[in-house]
Amino acid sequence: MVTIMDKLQTKEKQSDLRMTRQRRLILEELDTPGMHPTADTVYQRVRRRIPNISLGTVYRNLEILSQAGMVKKLHIGSGQKRYDRTLHRHYHVRCVKCGFISDVPAEPFGDLEEAARGSSEFDILGHDLEFEGLCENCKGDGIQQHQD
């Protein structure tokens, strides 16, 4: 069985990125299922384990991890960047009321990019697709808080 640490060590070797304690803890927090946190949320969670870590350190490391291909930076909804450890192409749904973001368990549209290439003068590099809706809590005006 491949562990998170095995994956980190493989990625570290591939990218020549030194895996510091801060980076490891940031990745562990991002590995929480269903999480698409902002940098501020990651900071609050990592700070429980490293009380003297700065927000700037978290931002800097998220950027480094994103550039190394270990984290995906999401530009969804409100304009605040969010981060995702699921690196394969997939789609998201965002609640228009509370902003909660979740993965959509549907296969990506492979021919969508091909259609765009055929009808555009752009060199299509990829795409992101975001659905909008109401989450379970907001549909029923529930008072539960999401863990995002």
**Is the pLDDT reported for residue 39 higher than 70?**
yes
Pairing of strands 101-104, 91-95: antiparallel
pTM for the model stands at: 0.72
pLDDT in tens, 134-143: 998 898 765 5
Separation CA 130–CA 41 (nearest Å): 21
Taken in order of first residue, the domains within the chain and their CATH numbers are 1-9+17-87 (1.10.10.10), 88-148 (3.30.1490.190)
Tens digits of residue pLDDT in 7-34? 545 554 555 788 999 999 999 999 987 7
pLDDT, one tens digit per residue, over 50-90 is 999 999 999 999 999 999 999 999 887 667 789 998 888 88
